[in-house]
Structure 1
Amino acid sequence: MQPTDSPTIEDAYSKLAQTYQSQEESPYCTDLEFPAMTDLLPNIEAKRVLDAGCGHGRYAEWLAEKGGDVVAVDNNTEMLEQARQRLTDDVDIRRGDITEPLEFADDGSFDGVVSGLPLHYVEDWHEAFTEFARLLRPGGFLVFSAQHPVDEYIAFDAENYFETEQEQMTWSAGSDEVDVPFYRRPFSEVINPLIETGFQIDELVEPRPTEGFKEKKPESYEKRLKYPTFLCIRASKSTA
Structure 2
Amino acid sequence: MPAMPESSAGAVDALVPNDYDTFGEAYAAETENSLLNAYYTRPAILDLAGDVAGRKVLDAGCGSGPLFADLRERGAVVAGFDASTTMVELSRRRLGDDADLRVADLGGPLPYPDGEFDDVVASLVLHYLEDWTAPLAELRRVLRPGGRLIVAVNHPIIRKMADPGADYFATAQWSSEHTFDGRKAVLSYWHRPLHAMTDAFTAAGFRTAVISEPHPAPAARELFADELAKFPSGAFLCFLFFVLEAV
Question: What TM-score comes out, normalization by structure 1 length?
Answer: 0.89
Distance in 1 separating the partners of 2:158 and 2:226: 18
Per-residue CA deviations over 1:60-82 (Å, capped at 9, x if unaligned) read 11111112221110000111110
- 1:183 and 2:190 matched: yes
8 Å Cα contact 2:82-2:88 kept in structure 1: yes
Higher relative contact order (CA 8 A, sep 6+): 2
Contact 1:120 1:182 in 2 (8 A): yes
Question: AA paired with 1:216?
Answer: L
2:219 aligns to what SS in structure 1?
helix
Q: Specify the alignment match of 2:133 in structure 1.
A: 126
- State how far apart, in whole Å, the 1-side matches of 2:48 and 2:182 are: 36
Compute the RMSD of aligned alpha carbons. Answer: 2.0
User: Do the aligned residues in 2 keep the contact of 1:28 with 1:213 (CA within 8 Å)?
Assistant: no
CA-CA distance at 1:206 after TM superposition = 0.3
CA distance in 1, matches of 2:15, 2:131: 19
Residue 17 of structure 2 is matched in structure 1 by 8
Give the letter for the 1:24 counterpart.
E
Could you tell me how far 1:51 is from its partner in structure 2? 0.4
Name which of 98, 105, 114 aligns with 2:121: 114
Q: In 1, are the aligned partners of 2:33 and 2:39 still within 8 Å (CA)? A: no
SS at match of 1:35: helix
2:233 pairs with 1:235: no
Task: Give per-residue Cα distances to partners, 1:175-212, cap 9 Å, x unaligned.
Answer: 33111211122111221111111101111110123332
- The CA deviation string for residues 13-42 of structure 1, in whole angstroms up to 9 with x for no partner, is 122222223223111222222211111003
How many residues were matched structurally? 233
Equivalent residue number for residue 196 of structure 1 = 203
Q: Please, which runs of 5 or more residues in structure 2 have no aligned partner?
A: 1-12
**Aligned ranges 1:76-115 → 2 under 5 Å:** 76-102=84-110, 104-115=111-122
- For residue 59 of structure 2, the aligned residue among 37, 42, 51 is 51
Quote the residue 2:4 is aligned against.
none
* Secondary structure at 1:211 match in 2: coil
C-alpha contact (below 8 Å) 1:145/1:230 kept by paired residues: yes
Q: Provide TM-score, normalisation by structure 2.
A: 0.87
Deviation of 1:132 (Å): 0.7
1:160 Cα deviation from its structure 2 partner: 0.6
Any unmatched runs of 5+ in structure 1?
Answer: none
The structure with the largest helix share of the pair is 1
Work out the CA distance in 1 between the residues paired with 2:239 and 2:172.
18
Q: Which amino acid aligns with 1:8?
A: P
| Deviation at residue 54 of structure 1 after TM alignment | 0.4
Q: Offset of 1:213 from its aligned partner? A: 2.1
AA partner of residue 79 (structure 2) = V
**In structure 1, what is the equivalent of residue 68 of structure 2?**
60
Q: 1:95 to 1:145 in 2, by over 3 A?
A: same
Q: Distance in 1 between matches of 2:44 and 2:181?
A: 28
